[in-house]
């Protein structure tokens, strides 16, 4: 049994004897504790347990993110995905560093598509915020409010590149740069 399988087995065991864990080829839970895939608890479990080794390798090899920020960026990307799961509206990506984790993940198309299906029930599209695909006015405030409710204050990685987390959602007032992209 590899380390990933041990973690999954441990998570299932920790859930108790009534847990009915089933996993797909990527190690994503399709059912846990009798809750069908698509449920927010299963989605969060899949996000928290997903093995980002391939993505980390790409980021390290290509020097896309400074080495000392990779672990934080991946951890914060997990939180971003959890905010999407827990939100009822669009969620904006406000960190260029965390966005690079998303870009690296998308390049592993088969893994990304399967992960998206397991977590969100559909392919999670990435739309850049630009003149052709502007972000929704609510996407940045939805992210900041959702993140604060779930995890407390924003990690500095979200604001270290000129983004003002008090952005009003228009991305032209209250922000010092383009606010990011919607999911």
36 φ/ψ angles, rounded to the nearest 5 degrees: -70, 155
Q: How many CB atoms lie within 10 A of CB 13?
A: 11
Distances (CA, A) of 155 to 49, 91, 102, 138, 181: 21, 17, 17, 20, 18
Give the residue extent of every domain in the chain.
Answer: 1-51, 52-182
CA 92 to CA 108: how far, in whole Å? Answer: 22
* C-alpha angle 124-117-35 in degrees, rounded to nearest 5: 125
Quote the pTM value.
Answer: 0.71
CA 49 to CA 89: how far, in whole Å? Answer: 24
Give me the tens of pLDDT residue by residue for the chain, a chain 183 residues long.
544 455 455 555 444 444 444 455 555 544 434 334 448 888 999 999 999 999 999 999 999 899 999 999 999 999 999 999 999 888 999 999 999 999 999 999 999 999 999 899 899 988 877 767 667 788 899 999 999 999 999 999 998 754 444 443 433 333 434 444 444
Closest CA to 30 of 17, 15, 45: 45
């Amino acid at each position: 049994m590899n380390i990933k399988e041990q973690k999954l087995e441990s998570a299932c065991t920790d859930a108790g004897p009534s847990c009915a864990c089933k996993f797909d080829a990527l190690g994503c839970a399709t059912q846990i504790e009798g809750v069908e895939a698509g449920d927010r608890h299963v989605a969060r479990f899949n996000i928290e347990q997903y093995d980002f080794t391939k993505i980390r390798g790409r980021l390290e090899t290509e020097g896309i993110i400074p080495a000392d920020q990779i672990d934080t960026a991946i951890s914060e990307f997990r939180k971003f995905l959890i905010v999407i799961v827990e939100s009822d509206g669009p969620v904006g990506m406000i960190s260029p560093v965390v966005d690079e984790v998303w870009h690296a993940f998308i390049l592993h198309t088969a893994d990304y598509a399967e992960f998206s299906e397991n977590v969100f029930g559909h392919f999670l599209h990435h739309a850049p915020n630009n003149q052709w695909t502007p972000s929704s006015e609510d996407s940045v405030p939805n992210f900041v409010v959702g993140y604060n409710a779930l995890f407390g204050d924003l990690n500095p990685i979200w604001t270290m590149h000129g983004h003002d987390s008090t952005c009003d959602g228009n991305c032209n007032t209250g922000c010092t740069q383009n606010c990011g992209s919607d999911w």
